[in-house]
Structure 1
Amino acid sequence: MNFSRRHFIGAVTGLASAAVLSACGSNSGGVETGSSASPSAGGSGKLVQWYHEYGEQGTKEAVQRYAKAFKGADVTVKWNLGTDYMTLLATTLLSGNGVPDVFESENGATLDMIQKGQVADLTDTLGDDASKFSKPVLDRMTYQGKVYALPQVVDMQMLYYRKSVLEKAKVDPPKTFADLVTAAKAVKTNAMGGFFAGNDGGLGVLANLLIWSAGYDQLNSDDTDLGFMESNFLDGVNAYRDFYASGALLPSASKDWFDGSPFINGETAMQWTGLWALGDIKKKWGDDFGVLPFPAIGSAGRQAVPFGAYGSCAAAKGSSNNLAVAKEFIKWLWLDQTDKQVDFANSYGTHIPAQPALVSQASQISSGPGKEAAEFVDKLGHASGLLWTSTISDAFNAALTNVVKKKANAQTEFAAVQKTAQSELKRIKK
């Protein structure tokens, strides 16, 4: 996984939305493919499909092969270079000029795309096959009961720990946040930190995990207010403040959280990072490591992991005027062509197929820690919701920073976030 996609999944869990991967208008071209089917009425017999730039070698050639194999239309793949893909996509959809018929979008269509009628409803396209997808992942691509994207491939984050180091310190792998603090203190030495989650002390990447692991959701059931203004959450934030100041949390390392190097180099006994680091970690430590979800916080808590998944969307008004075939192509590629889905997840980096039944076919995650990671997503996965806007996220992150770093009062800080959220949700709900 390249930096852009790491940044994307970091943003999913709490980094400011402005830091998320978006779009650069560069185009490396595409591939014209043969067609053996007649175009739909009024359509051109052609489709244009957009991808952001994947960093893994061979991905571009793979998606071109997939497009060429489709017999329903000539599919041209546009490979968008740079780190501003989502900005380019939003601008193009808004302008109505050069709109791709099929495109990938971070965690599926955005609220703006849905409310402006820029994306097609794929509920009927998916039909009864919805159960084939990981429920948390598909739920993230669903709004008000309608599916607006089919998941392509899943990335996620988790906690890596050195088995031998914890065993030597006579502590068990942490299942609760209190266990994590205890273990980090027990394994810390002058040469090795106890736990590392980023050069900001973990405040960016772990922010929303403090909500989910405390047992709450970002918003309440009717999306009118925050869903976590309870004592268990506030106590958890205060507990993280104490952990931050304890010395057991490694405050900085040679690389940031998204790079597995601190764990690989022995700078820390435990690290929060992504599935993408699994291969390098396995090469270094063999069987001497394990993986865990983020531990449960407090008596109402639950274990949790964050995920990010690009979803394939159909433009309501694509340039080729071929919506029926665009839907057919999405279904063909991301539901029916399971061999291509396994190839996409397994051959170019380490990822999880969006259909859990395919995990056993992906050799990198068919057993051991990789298989555990896939199960974490299906059972414990979370992603920021469609209505968790940058305004709310920024206010939340600022409050968390004030509590942890400046020792501000948690109740006061998050009460201010609540007012911001109530106003923002009233503005955006339609």
Structure 2
Amino acid sequence: MSAMSNTNWDRRNVLRAAMGLAAAGGLAACGGNTGRSGGGSGDALVQYFHAYGEAGTEQAIKKYAKAYKDANVTTQWITGSNFEQKLFAALLTKNAPDVFEFHPQIQLIKSGQVADLTDLIDPVKDDFNQADIKSHTVDGKIYGIRMIDDPQFFFYRPSMFEKAKVEVPTTLEELLEVADKLTTSKVKGAYLGSDLTPVQHNLIWSAGADTLTADNKPAFNTDAVADGLKQLRSLFTSGNLLLGAPTEWWDPSAFTQGLTAIQWCGMWAMPAMQQALGDDIGIFPFPKVGSAGKESVYNGGWSMFVNAKSKNVEAAKAYVKWLWIDQKEYQEDWATSYGFHIPPRTSLAETATKLKTGLPAEGVKLFNEFGHFDNIGWTQAMIASFNDVMANSVRKNGDPKKQLDTCQAKVDTELKKLFG
């Protein structure tokens, strides 16, 4: 996710979206000025973005929109901690956006909410990261155009590691030991977000499991995942974890202010970190969990969708094609000028000079070696039920295996709704 945002929003917290759909009617009036009166040539279109935290992002998106001559495009820049609630609420009203950013999720396709964009993407399909194409494809059709790929990993302070005489951990067990040695009266060993949910997908992957199998069955309920949850529980109770940080995990402040020696965060935060700390920054993937595991990097990111229920579907598709397929200069600007993200277009990723050397290049390398992408079938409701596993077995002292069993039953129910 590209948000060093002033929103507390991230895709793992989006259980509110699932709940918000039901209660959405009450939120329908939010963002009342849709700009639909528009005075430009052609159609009036409205696009929704969450408030990215990197300076200059809002101005950039508005600049691109203004450069488009075939429609009058207004941007709703949604601040606050509940972008997904506002988005889902707005989609149920006559003031729904024509174009919006979100993540690939199959319920949006099954409910007919997002338009098929295969015809736009097909001519350039080979120039996209193929994992991005796969994560937006259902029954051979592509829904949504990826704008940015956002790898997430652990950032650490080499100077603090040197002082504590510790090495970069490659197993979760080692991470716990390292966090203990790094903790002082002023600095905590590690920060994994206020509720630890930012690392829940990585815990599954690093334990050699997955969210779902290729044929959409639950794949996360394993002994290795249960063991990993126990280890996270012992980290949570150790006193070596930063809890109650001033900002959420997607913002680098806790790290740059020296409150923690290690922080889970995204590549987007690198420029702000480098400005504050110079070269005293390293990165490493989520370490492996158990003997059969493998290190993992979470590839978040944002995609552009066309509202299939818009009155201006064709105009919206034309705009999305113009900006996110044709305007490579804007695509590179968006990915590298306001924070570091990897362009999903292979040709851009290969030429983006800012990602060629130093820490960003290391981030790209980890992304290519250990990256995991979203599974389009892993929905809001499923994410929410795994959030409960984290709450009950890591932050409270519930039995991890029982929590995983409960989660599996809920996920099964959701899968039956979606796939029969």
Under a length normalisation based on structure 2, what TM-score does the superposition of the two structures give? Answer: 0.85
Matches within 5 A, 1:27-426: 27=33, 29=35, 33=40, 45-46=42-43, 48-55=45-52, 56-70=54-68, 73-83=70-80, 84-95=82-93, 97-101=94-98, 103-108=99-104, 110-200=105-195, 202=196, 204-223=197-216, 225-320=217-312, 323=314, 325-359=315-349, 361-362=351-352, 364-426=354-416
Which residue in 1 is equivalent to 2:15? 17
Going from structure 1 to structure 2, the CA distance change for 1:414 and 1:340 (only over 3 Å counts) comes to: same
| Separation of aligned partners in 2, 1:397 and 1:119 | 26
CA deviations 1:321-355 (Å, max 9, x no partner) are: x52x5434323321222111011223334433222
| Separation of aligned partners in 1, 2:95 and 2:392 | 44
Moved over 6 A (4+): none
Shift of 1:159: 0.7
Going from structure 1 to structure 2, the CA distance change for 1:126 and 1:389 (only over 3 Å counts) comes to: closer
Going from structure 1 to structure 2, the CA distance change for 1:28 and 1:351 (only over 3 Å counts) comes to: farther
One-letter amino acid of the structure 1 residue matched with residue 51 of structure 2: Y
| Separation of aligned partners in 1, 2:128 and 2:344 | 6
SS at match of 1:343: helix
Which residue in 2 is equivalent to 1:41? none
Does the CA contact (< 8 Å) of 1:257 and 1:273 recur in 2? yes
SS at match of 1:250: coil
| Separation of aligned partners in 2, 1:5 and 1:380 | 29
CA deviations 1:15-62 (Å, max 9, x no partner) are: 352179x9842447487555xxxxxxxxxx425141325344443443
Does the CA contact (< 8 Å) of 1:28 and 1:80 recur in 2? no
Going from structure 1 to structure 2, the CA distance change for 1:2 and 1:421 (only over 3 Å counts) comes to: closer
Does the CA contact (< 8 Å) of 1:62 and 1:344 recur in 2? yes
| Separation of aligned partners in 2, 1:394 and 1:353 | 29
The gaps in structure 1 that reach 5 residues or longer are 35-44
Under a length normalisation based on structure 1, what TM-score does the superposition of the two structures give? Answer: 0.83
Going from structure 1 to structure 2, the CA distance change for 1:118 and 1:369 (only over 3 Å counts) comes to: same
One-letter amino acid of the structure 1 residue matched with residue 115 of structure 2: A
> Alignment length, in residue pairs?
407
Shift of 1:361: 5.0
Which residue in 2 is equivalent to 1:427? 417
Identical-residue share of aligned pairs (%): 33
CA RMSD of aligned residues (A): 3.0
Task: Return 292-301 or 257-266, whichever deviates more.
Answer: 257-266
CA deviations 1:201-248 (Å, max 9, x no partner) are: x2x22222211221222122222x321222221221222222333333
SS at match of 1:205: helix
| Separation of aligned partners in 1, 2:230 and 2:245 | 24
| Separation of aligned partners in 1, 2:391 and 2:119 | 44
| Separation of aligned partners in 2, 1:266 and 1:428 | 46
